Amino acid sequence: MWNVLGSLFLLLAILTMSSLMGSTDFDALSKANFNNVTQTFLFAGVFFAFAIKTPTIFLNG
Amino acid sequence: MPLLPVATLNFTPLVYTICVITIVYASLSTLRTIDVKELIAYSSVAHAAVYLLGIFSNTIQGIEGGILLGLAHGLVSSGLFICAGGVLYDRTHTRLITFYRGVTQVMPLFSLLFFILALGNSGTPLTVNFVGEFLSLYGAFERMPVLGVLASSSIVFSAAFTIFMYNRVAFGGSLSSFFATNIPDLNLREFVLLSTLVAFTVLFGIYPAPILDGLHYSVSTLIFSSDIQSLASPTAALSSVAFTRQHVSCRVLFL
């Protein structure tokens, strides 16, 4: 359940990237230039998800 | 992390701190487990934090090491799980280390393969785990020396808990006195399964170049694609270039 909660943030981050760039292709996305605030939020989402999946301390289910 | 270069660099100290705490905490909780399967699972957590450090190190060596350690851990961890769950539990129907002793006497073949996998898990040279772990920790050290040194405690810890487990399971008395029937050694199926994993671990541990050569180009482009990264850590980027030059296969990048 905790894993699903984390993956939700990953999904949100990916959806944000896809709605900003119009694609989820990795090569296309690596050409993106998100501004700093957007990057911070996207990173927080992605890292939250992967930190739960790894799992790291403070986020271990 | 080429998607979010600025955020990655900004968050690296936080990620490193979390990873180092994870390594120490997970290793310590691994040390006090008495369940074989649980011990292997917890050691995976400690190693996962190590390759996270490698990936976030922003150096070629670190990223390649992270990928290599992930691959190595896939081989060794699954091998150990087969040993613990597939072989030992199947024979004895217990997973507690306290109930095992002297498996070497009744299952020599198993003990041999189990030993090589245990060496792999503790990151001994000649296994691919060593190559991956060394490169990851090197990258981490280059990025943040103090946290890199603290992260290197994972080598000591992983050696400690792996050898603890192997010692208790394989040596220290006679297991057969607890059983009315004899315990068979590995059958052909188990032997083929385990020796495949062991062979790949040792083979790539001695000669990891086939994997690393495949990674050089992608990892180099990953790092050098955005200018911001070389601006943020010029020393790291420069030393990465120096390191890459040593590899003949990568010369083409600089022509």
Give, as one character, the DSSP assignment of residue B225: T
Q: Is the ipTM of this complex over 0.85?
A: yes
Q: How far apart are the C-alpha atoms of B85 and B192, rounded to whole Å? A: 16
Whether residue A56 and residue B18 make contact (CB cut-off 8 A), yes or no, is: yes
**B2 touches A: beta carbon within 8 Å:** yes
Q: Is the dihedral of CA B225, B226, B231, B235 positive or negative?
A: negative
- Tens digits of per-residue pLDDT, B196-232? 999 999 999 999 999 999 999 988 888 887 655 444 5
- Residue B235 DSSP SS3: helix
- Residue B96 DSSP SS3: strand
Q: How far apart are the C-alpha atoms of B34 and A15, rounded to whole Å? A: 43
Q: How far apart are the C-alpha atoms of B114 and B182, rounded to whole Å? A: 20
**A17 touches B: beta carbon within 8 Å:** yes
Most B CBs within 10 A among A21, A29, A57, A59, hence the mutation to make, goes to A57
- Residue B41 DSSP SS3: helix
- How many contacts (CB atoms, under 8 Å) link A and B? 50
User: Which residue type is seen at B249?
Assistant: S
Q: Which residues of B touch A32 (CB under 8 A)?
A: 3
Span of A48-57, B48-57, B151-160, B240-249 with lowest mean pLDDT: B240-249
Whether residue B49 and residue A36 make contact (CB cut-off 8 A), yes or no, is: no
More confident call, B79 vs A6: B79
Structure tokens at B1: 């992390």
- Residue B59 DSSP SS3: coil
Considering only the beta carbons, identify the residue of A17, A32, A43 that sits closest to B7.
Answer: A43
Most B CBs within 10 A among A21, A54, A59, hence the mutation to make, goes to A54
CA B152 centroid distance within chain? 13
Structure tokens at B152: 């290197």
The percentage of chain B sitting over the pLDDT mark of 70, rounded to a whole number, equals: 85
What is residue B249's predicted lDDT score, i.e. its pLDDT?
Answer: 39
- Tens digits of per-residue pLDDT, B62-105? 999 999 999 999 999 999 999 999 999 988 888 888 888 888 88
Give, as one character, the DSSP assignment of residue B253: G
Considering only the beta carbons, identify the residue of A32, A40, A57 that sits closest to B25.
Answer: A57
What is residue A24's predicted lDDT score, i.e. its pLDDT?
Answer: 85
**A37 touches B: beta carbon within 8 Å:** no
Q: What is the largest CA-CA distance in chain B?
A: 71
What is residue B229's predicted lDDT score, i.e. its pLDDT?
Answer: 47
Which helix (H) or strand (E) is B185 found in, with range? none
- Tens digits of per-residue pLDDT, B139-151? 999 999 999 999 9
